């Protein structure tokens, strides 16, 4: 384990390979975050499922400081979905009195009833 760690540190210390190591770390971190989000949402990115309880809600930018240098990450944001309530009656526009959908409010009419 320490030999592997020392080899990684030596790779990071070389400037030309530092970019490669940062790119590899960024790629691995993005893949791990995507896998975690897929587990939480129950669906892959762009897929629709009826049993979904969590939905993606964009990304937030975050810098990750490592021995290889600073890595810019896009961390997925999630939000809980509200339960869908069944509709018992179709929605209709109610009038001014509430009982008749075609009633008019008298204060919106002029003297001629328009």
Residue 40 confidence (pLDDT): 85
2-11 long-range Cβ contacts below 8 angstroms, 24+ apart: 9/67
pLDDT of residue 65: 92
pLDDT of residue 28: 92
Distance CA 56, CA 83 (A): 16
Q: What is the mean pLDDT of the chain?
A: 75
pLDDT at 72: 92
Higher pLDDT among residues 15 and 3, named by residue: 3
What pLDDT is stored for residue 20 in this prediction?
Answer: 83
pTM for the full predicted model: 0.54
């Amino acid at each position: 384990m320490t030999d592997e760690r020392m080899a990684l540190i030596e790779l990071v210390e070389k400037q030309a390979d530092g970019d490669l190591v940062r790119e590899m770390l960024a790629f691995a971190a993005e893949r791990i975050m995507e896998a975690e989000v897929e587990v939480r949402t129950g669906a892959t990115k762009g897929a629709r499922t009826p049993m979904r309880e969590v939905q993606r809600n964009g990304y937030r930018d975050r810098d990750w400081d490592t021995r290889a240098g600073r890595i810019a990450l896009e961390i997925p944001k999630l939000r809980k979905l509200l339960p869908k309530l069944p509709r018992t009656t179709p929605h209709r526009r109610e009038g001014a009195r509430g009982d008749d959908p075609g009633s008019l409010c008298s204060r919106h009419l002029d003297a001629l009833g328009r």
